[in-house]
C-alpha cells in the first residue's frame, strides 16, 4: 500500500488515458476512432510543448512552425511519390527540385521531418539564448516567427500549395504497405507511448532537473555552474524534433496540411491545451490536449454556431478557478493539502 | 523621387495607425506588465462604437472619437477589475485569460452584429495632390490626430499627478503604496486609458478599413512587435518603432510586393529584439 | 487513499468524457423516414460573412421544398455541422456527417481549402458534396457538384465587354492565392487577344487591409480600370481607400456583392462594375418573389447576393435530384440524377453540365449607382457552359 502511495496521482491519469485510448477502437466507432487518431498526434505535439514550456519555462507562441516543417516536408514527400504533383505543375514546375527528390523515399521524409525542425530550433536557440533573450521576448519572437512562416508558406505557392495547402494525401503506410485504420491507430498509439516514455525519462534525469531549475531561477543555476543557454538550446532542439515527428504523422493521418496548421492559431491552441491541462507534468499536457479537442468536438456538435464562444468562456473559467490547470488541483505525493490544516492537526 | 515621397507619406499614415494601436499596448504592457491578447478586440470595440455613433445615432464622426475612447476605456476598466486583477503577478495566466476574453468578444460580436463589415463614412473628403503625390485629407488628419494624442499621453504621464503616480507604481509598487497611492485604482485607470487609446485606433481605422468581429487579429501582432521593438517603457521608442514598422512595410512593399514586405519586416523585428531586447531606443542598456 | 480515489474518479470522468464526446446517434422515428442531408458551413469563423449567405440560401431552398411536400411526401431533414473556417475540421465534420449521421449528400463549404479538405472524404466514402460557391475551377470530381460560377463564365465576357467600352489599360489585383491568380491568367489571355494591356499586377496578403503601397503603384501606372478579385475584408478596405485617394480609374470586380456594397457605402462603390452570375436586381418575376421572401425571412444584415443564390441553387438542385432518383437514400442514384438536371431559378433557367458536374450559369454585369445599388446592365443571352 505504501508503495502505491508514492506514485503521484497524475500517473494514474496517464494510465487511465492510455488505457482508454488503447481500448477505444474496440468500440467499433470508426469515425471517432479516426478522430482520436488525430488527437493522439496532437498529444505528441503537446508533449513537445510541455518539455519546452512546462519544464524549461520557455513559452513558445510559435510552436506550430516546427510542427509545420515536419508536416509540410512529409506532405511534399507523399505528394511527389509519383512525379511532379498537380499543384506544382499548375505553376509550371517541370521537374522535382533536388531537395524534394531527396525526401521522396519514406525513411528520408521521416528523418527530414524530424531533423529539420530540430536543426532549426537548435540554430534559433543558438541565436537567441546565448544572448540572454528569454521570457516575454522569446514569446514575442516565436510569435513573429509563426506569422512570418505562415506568410512564407502562403506565398510559396509553387511548392506549398499556398493558401489551400497540400491535400489528398494517402494514409499511413509502413515500409510501403498502406495500413488499415486499426493498424494506423495502433502505430500512432505506439509512438505516443514511446514519446511519453522518452519524455518521462528525460524529465526524470539530471537534464530534466536542470531544466526545472532554469525555469525556477535561471540565474541561480548559472552560479551552480550550469550553462543555461546550452540546456535551453538542447531542450528546444529536442522539442523541435518531437514537434516535427507530430507533424510527420499529422500529414498522412489528416490527409492534408494547410497554412492554418502552421501559424498562430494552432500554436495558441496548443498553449491553451497546456493551460487547461496543466503544464510541467506531461500528464497535464495530454489531459489538456484530449479534453479541449474532445470537448470542442462535442460542443460543436451540440451548439452549432456558438461553440467557440462556449470554449472561450470555458478557458476563462479554467484560468480563474484552476490557474495551474487541471493537474494543478491534483494532490502531489508527500504534499500537505494546505499548511493551515496541518497546523490545525498539530494544534 | 516623387513616388518615394508618396510612399513615405503613405507609410506615415500606416505608421500613425500602428502607433496609436501600439501606444495602448505599451501602456498596458510596459506600465502594468500585462500581455493583453484581447488588445485587437479593444480596437474592435472602438470601431463598432464609431459605427454605432455615426450610423445608428447619426452623430458626426468627431463625436465618435471621444465616444470610442470612453466606451473602450470602460470595457478595459471592466476587464481589469474582473480578470486582470484576480490574476495579478501571474503573467502566463493573465495572458491566457485575456486570450479567453478575446475569443469571447469576437464570438459575441459575430453573434450580435453579424460578420459583414459595417459602414462608417469617411468624415473628410478630398485629397491633397502635388505632382504625382496624392495624400487623402483623412490620412493627414489621422497623422495629426495621432501625433496630438501621443503628445497628450506623454504630457499626461510626465506632467500630471496621475502620471506621476503611474510612474511611481511602475518603479516600485510597494513603496508607492507606502506613500499612500491607491495602486489598485491607478491600475484600473491605467488599463482603462490604454484601452481607450486602442479604441481610438479602431475608430480612426473604421472609415478606411473594416468594422468586423475578426478585425482585431492583424493589429495584435503588429502592436506587439512595435511595442517590443520600440522599447516597452519608452514612448519615443514606441513612436520610432511604429514609424519603422510602418515605413519599412510601405517602402519594401513599394519596391517588391506586400507579402514579401510583411515577411521581411517580421524578420527585421526578430533581429531587432535579439540584438536590442530592451528596445531600439531604450535609455538603459542591459 | 484519497489521492487514488481522486485519480480514479478523474479517470472515470475522462472515459465518460471521451465517450460522451462521441455524441448520440440521431435515430429517425418510425413512419416515413425523412431524407437526411448535411449542411457543412462555418458560421462561427472568419469566413462566416460568406458562409452565412450560402447557408441562408440553402436553408431557404430546403424549406421551400419541404413546404411543397418534400421528396414524395418525405421531409428533408438537415443536419448542420460548423467547421469554424478550419479545413481540417471541415474534413472531420464531413466524415461525421457521412459515417455517423448517414446523410445522403452534403451541401456546403465555401473556401477552396475547405472544399479540397472535404474532397477526399466524399470520394473515399462514395458520398456527394454540392459546392455552392464561385471558385477558380480547374477541378473535377465525380462526387462533387459545383453550382457556383467559375472564371470562364466571367472573364471572357467581362474583359471583352470592358474592352468594347473603351477601357484599355488594366491593373489586375487580388489576394495572394489561387482564385485571383487563375482569374488574372485568363484575363491576360483575353486582353492579349482583344488588344488591351496589363498596366500592373499585384497580390496582397490574404486579409490585408493596408493598400498604401498598392495605391501608389496604381497611381504610377495610370490604368483605365482596376480589375479586382479581392475578397473579404481586403475588398471592403480597398474600395474605401481607393475612394479616399480619388484616383480616376474605374473598379471592375469579380467578387463584390450587395453585402460588400452596403459595407463600403454609396460613395465608394459609385460607377464601379461587377460581373457575377446573379444580382438582387435581376428583373424577373421569380426573382422579385425570391428577394421579397429573403428579406422577410432573414434579418441578420445579409443581402440576397450571388452567394445566397449559389446556396439556394445548390439546395434546389439537390431537391430535384432527390426527387428524380428512384431511391433518395441512395447516394449513387442521386449523384447520377444530377446529369443535365435543369431548374427554374431566380437567376434564370440553369442546368448542370453532365460532363464536368459544373453549372451552366448566366453572366451578368452590373454598375453601381449613386445609391449603392447594383443595376444589371448586361445579361448574357443564354447560360454559359462551364469549362473548369
Same-domain check for residues C206 and C321? no
**Of A279-283, A293-297, C14-18, C201-205, minimum mean pLDDT range:** C14-18
Question: Chain A within 8 Å of C4 (Cβ-Cβ)?
Answer: yes
Same-domain check for residues C294 and C214? no
Instruction: State the DSSP code for A162.
Output: G
Question: Chain B within 8 Å of A156 (Cβ-Cβ)?
Answer: no
pLDDT value at B261 more than 80: no
Same-domain check for residues C160 and C290? no
What single string gives the DSSP state of each residue in A236-268? HHHHHHHHHHHHHHHHHHHS-B-GGGGSHHHHH
pLDDT value at C146 more than 90: yes
Question: Chain A within 8 Å of C207 (Cβ-Cβ)?
Answer: no
Question: Chain A within 8 Å of C7 (Cβ-Cβ)?
Answer: yes
Per-residue pLDDT at B277: 67
Per-residue pLDDT at C168: 92
Three-class SS state of C364: strand
Report the pLDDT averaged over residues B191-220: 90
Rounded CA separation B129/B131 (Å): 6
Domain extents for chain A? Answer: 2-331
Judging by DSSP bridges, how do beta strands C197-204 and C169-175 pair with one another?
parallel
CB pairs under 8 A between A and B: 99
pLDDT value at B50 more than 90: yes
pLDDT mean across residues, chain C? 88
| pLDDT band at residue A251 under the 50/70/90 scheme | very high
Q: What is the pLDDT of residues B156-172, one digit of tens each?
A: 888 888 888 888 887 78
pLDDT value at C6 more than 60: no
Q: What is the pLDDT of residues A11-70, one digit of tens each?
A: 888 888 999 999 888 887 888 888 899 999 999 999 999 999 989 888 898 999 999 999
Is C17 a domain residue? Answer: no
| pLDDT band at residue A341 under the 50/70/90 scheme | very low
Same-domain check for residues C127 and C173? no
pLDDT value at A109 more than 70: yes
Q: What is the pLDDT of residues C218-236, one digit of tens each?
A: 988 899 999 999 998 899 9
CATH number of the domain residue C168 falls in: 3.40.50.2300
Report the pLDDT averaged over residues C342-353: 91
Same-domain check for residues C374 and C305? no
pLDDT value at B224 more than 60: yes
Per-residue pLDDT at C25: 44
Is C2 a domain residue? Answer: no
Rounded CA separation B66/C251 (Å): 34
Question: Chain A within 8 Å of B193 (Cβ-Cβ)?
Answer: no
Question: Chain A within 8 Å of C26 (Cβ-Cβ)?
Answer: no
Q: Which residues of B touch C246 (CB under 8 A)?
A: 126-127, 134, 136
Same-domain check for residues C160 and C259? yes
Is C13 a domain residue? Answer: no
| pLDDT band at residue C216 under the 50/70/90 scheme | confident
pLDDT value at B89 more than 70: yes
Report whether B261 contacts A147 (CB < 8 A): no
Rounded CA separation A299/B216 (Å): 25
Task: Please tell me which residue of chain A has the smallest CA distance to B218.
Answer: A147
pLDDT value at A344 more than 80: no
User: Going by C-beta distance under 8 Å and a sequence separation of 6 or more, which residues neighbour residue C314?
Assistant: C54, C57, C58, C61, C107, C130, C131, C132, C145, C147
pLDDT value at A339 more than 50: no
**Residues spanned by the domain of C373:** 152-276+366-379
Q: What is the 3-state secondary structure (H, E, C) of B61-90?
A: HHHHHHHHHHHHHHHHHHHHHHHHHHHCCC
Per-residue pLDDT at A340: 42
| pLDDT band at residue B280 under the 50/70/90 scheme | low
| pLDDT band at residue C36 under the 50/70/90 scheme | very high
Domain extents for chain B? Answer: 19-215
Report the pLDDT averaged over residues C86-95: 90
Same-domain check for residues C372 and C235? yes
| pLDDT band at residue C132 under the 50/70/90 scheme | very high
Rounded CA separation B84/B220 (Å): 18
Q: Tell me the shortest Cα–Cα distance from A291 to chain C, in angstroms.
A: 8
Instruction: Provide ipTM, 2 decimals.
Output: 0.86
Q: Which residues of B touch C301 (CB under 8 A)?
A: 113-114, 116
Is C115 a domain residue? Answer: yes
Q: Which residues of A touch C43 (CB under 8 A)?
A: 304-305
Report whether B262 contacts B286 (CB < 8 A): no
Per-residue pLDDT at C131: 95
**Contact between B100 and A319 using a beta-carbon 8 Å cutoff:** yes
Please count the structural domains in chain C: 2
Amino acid at each position: 500500500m505504501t508503495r502505491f502511495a508514492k506514485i503521484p496521482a497524475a500517473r494514474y491519469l496517464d494510465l487511465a488515458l492510455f488505457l482508454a485510448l488503447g481500448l477505444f477502437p474496440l468500440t467499433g466507432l470508426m469515425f471517432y476512432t479516426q478522430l482520436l487518431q488525430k488527437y493522439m498526434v496532437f498529444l505528441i505535439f503537446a508533449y513537445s510543448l510541455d518539455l519546452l514550456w512546462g519544464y524549461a519555462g520557455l513559452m513558445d507562441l510559435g510552436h506550430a512552425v516546427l510542427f509545420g516543417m515536419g508536416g509540410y516536408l512529409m506532405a511534399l514527400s507523399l505528394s511527389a511519390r509519383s512525379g511532379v504533383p498537380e499543384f506544382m505543375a499548375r505553376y509550371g514546375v517541370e521537374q522535382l527540385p533536388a531537395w524534394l527528390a531527396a525526401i521522396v523515399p519514406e525513411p528520408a521524409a521521416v528523418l527530414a521531418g524530424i531533423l529539420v525542425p530540430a536543426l532549426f530550433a537548435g540554430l534559433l536557440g543558438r541565436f537567441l539564448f546565448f544572448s540572454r533573450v528569454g521570457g516575454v521576448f522569446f514569446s514575442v519572437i516565436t510569435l513573429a516567427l509563426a506569422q512570418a512562416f505562415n506568410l512564407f508558406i502562403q506565398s510559396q505557392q509553387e511548392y506549398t500549395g499556398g493558401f489551400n495547402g497540400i491535400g489528398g494525401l494517402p494514409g499511413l503506410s509502413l515500409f510501403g504497405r498502406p495500413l488499415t485504420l486499426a493498424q494506423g491507430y495502433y502505430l500512432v498509439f505506439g509512438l505516443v507511448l514511446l514519446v511519453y516514455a522518452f519524455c518521462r525519462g528525460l524529465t526524470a534525469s539530471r537534464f530534466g532537473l536542470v531544466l526545472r531549475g532554469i525555469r525556477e531561477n535561471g540565474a541561480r543555476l548559472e552560479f551552480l555552474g550550469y550553462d543555461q543557454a546550452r540546456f535551453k538550446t538542447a531542450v528546444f532542439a529536442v522539442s523541435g524534433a518531437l514537434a516535427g515527428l507530430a507533424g510527420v504523422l499529422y500529414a498522412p493521418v489528416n490527409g492534408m496540411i494547410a497554412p492554418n496548421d502552421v501559424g498562430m492559431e494552432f500554436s495558441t491552441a496548443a498553449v491553451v491545451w497546456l493551460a487547461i491541462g496543466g503544464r510541467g507534468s506531461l500528464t497535464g499536457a495530454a489531459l489538456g490536449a484530449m479534453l479541449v479537442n474532445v470537448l470542442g468536438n462535442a460542443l460543436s456538435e451540440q451548439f452549432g454556431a456558438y461553440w467557440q464562444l462556449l470554449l472561450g468562456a470555458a478557458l476563462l473559467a479554467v484560468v480563474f478557478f484552476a490557474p495551474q490547470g487541471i493537474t494543478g488541483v491534483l494532490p502531489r505525493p508527500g504534499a500537505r493539502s494546505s499548511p493551515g490544516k496541518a497546523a490545525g492537526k498539530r494544534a | 523621387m516623387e513616388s518615394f515621397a508618396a510612399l513615405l507619406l503613405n507609410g506615415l499614415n500606416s505608421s500613425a495607425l500602428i502607433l496609436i494601436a501600439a501606444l495602448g499596448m505599451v501602456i498596458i504592457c510596459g506600465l502594468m506588465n500585462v500581455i493583453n491578447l484581447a488588445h485587437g478586440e479593444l480596437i474592435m470595440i472602438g470601431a463598432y462604437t464609431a459605427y454605432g455613433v455615426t450610423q445608428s445615432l447619426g452623430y458626426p464622426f468627431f463625436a465618435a472619437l471621444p465616444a470610442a475612447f470612453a466606451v473602450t476605456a470602460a470595457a478595459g476598466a471592466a476587464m481589469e477589475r474582473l480578470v486582470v486583477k484576480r490574476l495579478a503577478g501571474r503573467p502566463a495566466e493573465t495572458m491566457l485569460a485575456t486570450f479567453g476574453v478575446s475569443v469571447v468578444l469576437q464570438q459575441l460580436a459575430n453573434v450580435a452584429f453579424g460578420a459583414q463589415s459595417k459602414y462608417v463614412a469617411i468624415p473628410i473628403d478630398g485629397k491633397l495632390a502635388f505632382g504625382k503625390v496624392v495624400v487623402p485629407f483623412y490620412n493627414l488628419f489621422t497623422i495629426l490626430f495621432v501625433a496630438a494624442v501621443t503628445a497628450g499621453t506623454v504630457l499626461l504621464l510626465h506632467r500630471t499627478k496621475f502620471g506621476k503616480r503611474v510612474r511611481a507604481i511602475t518603479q516600485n509598487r510597494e513603496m508607492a503604496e507606502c506613500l499612500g497611492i491607491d495602486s489598485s485604482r491607478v491600475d484600473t485607470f491605467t488599463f482603462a486609458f490604454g484601452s481607450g487609446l486602442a479604441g481610438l485606433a479602431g475608430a480612426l481605422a473604421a472609415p478606411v478599413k473594416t468594422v468586423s468581429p475578426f478585425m482585431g487579429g492583424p493589429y495584435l501582432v503588429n502592436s506587439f512587435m512595435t511595442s517590443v521593438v520600440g522599447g516597452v517603457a519608452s514612448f519615443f521608442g514606441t513612436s520610432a518603432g511604429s514609424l519603422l514598422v510602418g515605413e519599412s512595410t510601405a517602402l519594401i512593399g513599394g519596391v517588391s510586393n506586400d507579402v514579401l514586405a510583411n515577411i521581411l519586416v517580421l524578420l527585421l523585428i526578430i533581429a531587432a529584439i535579439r540584438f536590442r531586447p530592451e528596445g531600439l531606443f531604450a535609455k538603459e542598456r542591459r | 487513499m484519497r489521492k487514488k480515489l481522486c485519480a480514479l474518479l478523474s479517470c472515470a470522468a475522462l472515459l465518460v468524457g471521451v465517450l460522451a464526446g462521441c455524441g448520440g446517434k440521431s435515430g429517425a422515428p418510425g413512419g416515413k423516414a425523412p431524407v437526411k442531408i448535411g449542411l457543412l458551413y462555418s458560421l462561427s469563423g472568419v469566413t462566416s460573412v460568406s458562409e452565412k449567405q450560402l447557408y441562408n440560401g440553402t436553408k431557404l431552398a430546403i424549406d421551400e421544398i419541404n413546404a411543397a411536400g418534400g421528396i414524395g411526401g418525405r421531409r428533408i431533414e438537415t443536419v448542420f455541422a460548423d467547421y469554424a473556417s478550419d479545413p481540417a475540421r471541415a474534413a472531420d465534420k464531413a466524415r461525421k456527417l457521412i459515417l455517423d449521421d448517414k446523410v445522403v449528400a452534403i451541401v456546403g463549404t465555401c473556401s477552396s481549402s475547405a472544399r479540397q479538405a472535404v474532397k477526399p472524404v466524399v470520394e473515399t466514402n462514395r458520398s456527394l458534396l454540392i459546392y455552392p460557391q464561385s471558385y477558380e475551377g480547374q477541378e473535377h470530381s465525380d462526387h462533387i457538384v459545383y453550382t457556383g460560377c467559375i472564371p470562364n463564365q466571367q472573364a471572357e465576357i467581362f474583359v471583352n465587354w470592358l474592352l468594347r467600352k473603351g477601357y484599355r489599360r488594366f491593373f489586375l489585383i487580388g489576394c495572394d492565392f489561387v482564385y485571383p491568380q487563375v482569374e488574372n491568367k485568363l484575363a491576360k489571355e483575353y486582353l492579349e487577344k482583344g488588344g488591351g494591356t496589363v498596366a500592373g499586377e499585384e497580390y496582397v496578403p490574404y486579409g490585408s487591409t493596408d493598400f498604401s503601397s498598392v495605391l501608389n503603384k496604381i497611381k504610377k501606372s495610370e490604368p483605365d480600370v482596376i480589375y479586382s478579385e479581392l475578397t473579404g475584408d481586403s475588398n471592403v478596405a480597398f474600395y474605401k481607400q481607393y475612394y479616399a485617394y480619388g484616383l480616376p480609374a474605374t473598379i471592375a470586380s469579380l467578387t463584390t456583392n450587395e453585402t460588400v456594397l452596403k459595407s463600403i457605402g454609396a460613395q465608394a462603390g459609385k460607377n464601379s462594375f461587377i460581373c457575377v452570375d446573379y444580382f438582387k436586381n435581376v428583373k424577373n418575376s421569380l426573382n422579385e418573389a425570391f428577394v421579397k421572401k429573403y428579406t422577410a425571412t432573414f434579418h441578420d444584415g445579409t443581402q440576397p447576393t450571388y452567394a445566397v443564390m449559389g446556396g439556394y441553387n445548390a439546395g434546389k438542385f439537390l431537391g430535384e435530384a432527390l426527387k428524380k432518383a428512384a431511391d433518395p437514400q441512395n447516394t449513387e442514384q442521386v449523384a447520377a440524377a444530377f446529369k443535365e438536371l435543369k431548374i427554374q431559378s431566380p437567376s434564370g433557367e440553369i442546368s448542370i453540365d453532365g460532363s464536368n458536374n459544373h453549372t451552366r450559369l448566366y453572366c451578368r454585369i452590373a454598375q453601381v449607382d449613386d445609391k449603392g445599388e447594383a443595376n444589371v446592365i448586361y445579361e448574357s443571352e443564354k447560360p454559359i457552359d462551364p469549362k473548369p
